[in-house]
Each structure stands twice: as C-alpha cells, then as structure tokens.
C-alpha cells in the first residue's frame, strides 16, 4: 500500500526533510582529515539534537549509530568507529531524522579535504544520476522511468549501479512502498501520483556492481574494492515539477 501524503502531512514532513538536508550540509562542511568516523557521528548526533529532532537510524533494526558513514569502497550503512579519515578519502554520509512524526532521508558523498579526479567524477556522475531520476518523478510516469533514467546515465558514464539496495517511499516510516530500484528490474510498473514522497538514492560503483556485507552485519562494500558513491533526496511528486524536500536551509536554522 502506498501512502499518499495530504497537504497537512506535508506541512509536518517538510521541516523534517529540510532539517535532514541541513544536518547533512553541516556534517559535510565539518569533516576534515584526521577525524575519526565516531567523532563525525557524534557531531551529527549533536546537530540533529540542536535542531530538536532525532536520528531515524539509531535503533532501527538495532542500527548502532546516528548516521551512516561509508568510506571509499564502503557503499552504504558504514558504522562509525576509530577509523581516521584521510585526505583524499571519499565519504558517503546518509542522514535520516524524525521530526513532527515524519522522516527526512538524504545522502551525499563528499571528499575529505580533496580527492583525485577519478573519485570526483564518480561523485559527479552519481549526483547527476540522482537528478536524472528526480526529473522523472512526475505524474503519469512510472517508478521504472526513474530507475531507467538513473541506470542509463550511470552506465553511459562507465560506472555500475548497485542492485541489492534500492530507494523507497518515505513518510511516517523510513521504508514505505514503493521500492525504487536504480536499474530496470522488469517490475516497478507503479504509476507516480501527486502526494507520493520518494527517497531516490543511486548507489554507484566505479567498478563492478557486486557488493557484500562485512562481518559487522551492516557495512556494505564493493566486492572488487572499487570506490562507491551515494546520493539521496526525499522528493515529493506534485501536479507539476518534483519538489526536492531535503534541500538544506540556506541559512542556519539554529
Ligand atoms: N537511510 C538508509 C536509506 O537510505 C537506511 C539506513 S538503515 C539504518 O534507506 F539502519 F542504517 F539506519
Ligand atoms: Co538514506
Ligand atoms: Co533511503
């Protein structure tokens, strides 16, 4: 069952989404070489709290951290710990907050200090593929149009999309229907309708698409050790153009 959001729902959900985007901005601006991922997670937790929200991840299926921090060949769901970030690393930050009873879910990959051109190209292509997908989030199109647009753009640029993890509807729950694969799975015929709120989130590998989960039970890595990037927005399907709900506030909220 797909939950269509009413205008009243959206009034509550919009601030949750802006907050998630703002925290993501704050963490991205804060990280530097030498910090441990645990310090980054603590900073993220303190910003979420400062905005009066809560992490949507902490405790979700016993997930132990405030946000997901995935470094280099880590794809998603990386756990914070003693690892120190180094100049040239790329870090995928995934922020989910609960506020007003609704969830905002958004992710971005950033360089720590700087990175080489190959890593920058991977991040650029992944971000652009997200926007190719978002552009399809209009009434009359189907979920598969989002999936195809992402896959086409990524593969035309020589990279591969991860298949085991997908985007999703989002609202009062983090993972609602429909699933939104980043490739054409031959299903996903669901028609897009105004009021749908979708977390669209391409996960893109520089090498092969295969991934595996580490023994910690969470961290997803590329099997071939290649770099991976992840960009995500929570998007509202409207009568007109898609509304990117997790765009950060342009000024500090607090
Ligand atoms: N935010 C992730 C997503 O984009 C889900 C994180 S699950 C958690 O769907 F357990 F790590 F929190
Ligand atoms: Co997310
Ligand atoms: Co998501």
Could you give the percent of the chain with pLDDT greater than 90?
96
Residue whose structure tokens are 């593929």: 129
Given a cut of 80, whether residue 52 has pLDDT beyond it is yes
Q: Is the CATH number of domain 7-238 3.90.230.10?
A: yes
Q: Ligand 1: does its nearest atom lie under 6 Å from the Cβ of 26?
A: no
Provide the sign of the torsion angle of the four alpha carbons 22, 67, 172, 183, taken in this order. Answer: positive
* Phi/psi-derived region of residue 64, left when phi > 0, alpha when psi is between -120 and 50, beta in every other case: alpha
Determine the Cα–Cα distance for residues 34 and 53; give it in Å rounded to an integer: 28
Burial of 54 (0-12, 13-18, 19+ CB in 10 A): middle
CA of 120 to the centre of ligand 3 (A): 22
Which residues make beta-bridge pairs with 94?
Answer: 68, 107
Protein residue whose Cα sits closest to atom 12 of ligand 1: 57
Confidence at 250, pLDDT banded by 50, 70, 90: confident
d(CA 167, CA 198): 8
77 lines ligand 1 (CB under 6 A): yes
Q: How many CB atoms lie within 10 A of CB 215?
A: 6
Q: Is 108 in the pocket of ligand 1 (CB under 6 A)?
A: no
Q: Is 61 in the pocket of ligand 1 (CB under 6 A)?
A: yes
Query: Does the pLDDT at position 174 exceed 90?
Result: yes
For residue 193, cis peptide bond before it (omega within 30 degrees of 0): no
CA distances to 109, 154, 168, 253 from 201, rounded to whole Å, are: 12, 13, 8, 25
pLDDT digits (tens, 9 = 90+) for 60-117: 999 999 999 999 999 999 999 999 999 999 999 999 999 999 999 999 999 999 999 9
Residue-wise pLDDT tens digits, 155-167? 999 999 999 999 9
Residue 95 CA: which ligand 1 atom is closest?
Answer: 1
216 lines ligand 1 (CB under 6 A): no
Residue that the structure tokens 């983090």 belong to: 174
Segment 41-45 mean pLDDT: 98
pLDDT digits (tens, 9 = 90+) for 111-155: 999 999 999 999 999 999 999 999 999 999 999 999 999 999 999
- 165 in contact with ligand 1, CB cutoff 6 A: no
Confidence (pLDDT) at 253: 59
**Residue 254 pLDDT greater than 70, yes or no:** no
Q: Is the CB of 176 under 6 A from ligand 1?
A: no
User: Which of 60, 130, 165, when mutated, tests ligand 1's pocket best, judged by the most ligand atoms within 8 Å of its CB?
Assistant: 60
Q: Is the CB of 60 under 6 A from ligand 1?
A: yes
DSSP class of 203:
E
Orientation of helix 7-30 relative to helix 37-50, angle to 10°: 140
CA–CA dist 96, 125 (Å, integer): 23
Contact between 166 and 179 (Cβ < 8 Å): yes
pLDDT tens digit sequence for 190-244: 999 999 999 999 999 999 999 999 999 999 999 999 999 999 999 999 999 999 9
Atom of ligand 1 nearest to the CA of 201: 4
pLDDT of 251 > 80? The answer is no
Q: Please give the Cα distance from 31 to 223 (Å, whole number).
A: 27
Domain ranges of the chain: 7-238
Q: Which residues surround ligand 2, an ion (CB under 5 A)?
A: 94, 105, 107, 232
Structure tokens belonging to residue 28: 């991205």
State the distance from the centre of ligand 2 to the C-alpha of 94, rounded, in angstroms. 5
Q: Establish whether residue 41 lines the binding site of ligand 1, counting it when its CB lies within 6 angstroms of any ligand atom.
A: no
Number of H helices, E strands in the chain: 4, 15
* 87-99 exposure pattern, b = at least 16 Cβ within 10 A, e = fewer: eebbbbbbbbbbb
Average of per-residue pLDDT across 33-41: 99
Ligand closest in space to the Cα of 165: 1
Measure the CA–CA gap between 219 and 202, rounded to whole angstroms: 17
Mean pLDDT, the chain, rounded, equals 97
DSSP structural state of residue 106? E
Q: Are 207 and 137 in contact (CB under 8 A)?
A: no
């Amino acid at each position: 069952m797909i939950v269509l959001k009413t205008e009243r729902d959206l009034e509550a959900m919009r601030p949750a989404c802006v907050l998630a985007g703002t925290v993501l901005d704050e963490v991205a601006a804060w990280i530097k070489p030498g910090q441990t991922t645990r310090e980054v997670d603590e900073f993220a937790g303190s910003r979420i709290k400062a905005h009066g929200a809560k992490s949507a991840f902490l405790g979700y299926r016993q997930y132990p951290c405030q946000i997901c921090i995935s470094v280099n060949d880590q794809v998603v769901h990386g756990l914070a710990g003693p690892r120190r970030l180094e100049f040239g690393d790329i870090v995928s930050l995934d922020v989910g907050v609960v506020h007003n009873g609704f969830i905002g879910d958004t992710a971005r990959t950033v360089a720590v200090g700087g990175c080489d051109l190959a890593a920058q190209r991977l991040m650029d292509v992944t971000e652009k593929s997200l926007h190719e997908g978002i552009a399809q989030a209009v009434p009359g199109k189907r979920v598969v149009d989002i999936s195809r647009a992402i896959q086409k753009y990524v593969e035309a640029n020589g990279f591969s999309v991860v298949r085991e993890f997908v985007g999703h509807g989002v609202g009062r729950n983090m993972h609602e229907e429909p699933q939104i694969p980043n490739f054409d799975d031959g299903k996903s015929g669901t028609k897009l309708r105004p009021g749908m709120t979708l977390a669209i989130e391409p996960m893109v590998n520089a090498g092969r698409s295969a991934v595996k989960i580490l023994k910690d039970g969470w961290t997803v890595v590329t099997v071939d050790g290649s770099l991976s990037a992840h960009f995500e927005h929570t998007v509202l399907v409207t009568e007109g153009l898609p509304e990117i709900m997790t765009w950060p506030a342009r000024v500090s909220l607090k």
